[in-house]
Structure 1
């Protein structure tokens, strides 16, 4: 089966492309570096030729709300025009658990727009909302640090490993479209401050991490359950925090 991975050279995309190729699929790793640009439309018709599945794991070049809105709006319209012309049978996209609860953020409003455009495209689709990646905990810490103190809201999170995100996407690629949203989380919930503290500690980062009810998440107020899956049965990743920390320590030691 021919599968096009939009953002195929990126953080999740490179992991996903490898898994799909190991599964015997013909995979196009589509990105500007390979001549496929969803914003300009360059290379899209050629990439889509004979493709059965398109997986979009590309992200906005900026978390600025206006930039993200323009990126997702333009990319989606170009993608769906090319997919419809080529007869693509399944559009699979990666999104974020809690997007609907984070709309005070311009970036998450743009992600929600992306989800709406997917649902309205006419192309059969699946949206996989994943929780925060273990690999992104350092970025969350950086966004919340002042004077060597990391202040985080007392929210729950159920973080997942990037490898589990790629594996789940690879599995969904060969299933029928859900025509709806699915969710993926890691094996266990934690307080956001607890998991960030453990990730920083394994990297010998001495910043103090505290749970502060007045703290924000990327500049917005969130409630305790905004970052965890909703009712239903989410996919659960295989890699827990302890295993991920052990692997990360070995890779960086």
Structure 2
């Protein structure tokens, strides 16, 4: 089925369905076709940054932090829930994909190709063009990339999109006894809250592998270095 056929059918049905949903679907269709365009004209997209300045980016080479991200053991519930869902089901909602990708690339400063390779191995809907273009978008080195200062805060994202914590509790059941802010950032929970939930950080659930504020500052500094 060509994108033109899909686009035409949606236009014909637009009057009978919710326009916002259809507009969103068409936007995603446009992104997919744009990714195919990029891969066709730049076949090195899966391996090399579209923006060549990023060849000099100071990526870190750290195996253990990468493994913790892959296994959903970062100490950040929304990140861990997403990565565990990916491993268990081969799927992850687009919102969570952006959050975990931003965490790997911008908070951990690990090369986007690590994330690209892991998603390629794990996703049942893996697509070479979309996967490559999306990871470069998050890293800031792709075409029409996200601004370098756009760094998703995993705590704010989980509080906004998983307010009751149902998603977190499904994939991080060891945190099921927590609620409210303690569920989204258990490292700030009181000793009483953790004890009541049967959670000991470092034993039942990992301590955070990084400080969000410090990692954000380090990331911004690294990105600014490309401008100098």
| TM-score normalised by length of structure 2 | 0.24
Higher relative contact order (CA 8 A, sep 6+): 2
Give 1 or 2: higher strand fraction: 1
Give 1 or 2: higher helix fraction: 2
Larger radius of gyration: 2
| TM-score normalised by length of structure 1 | 0.22
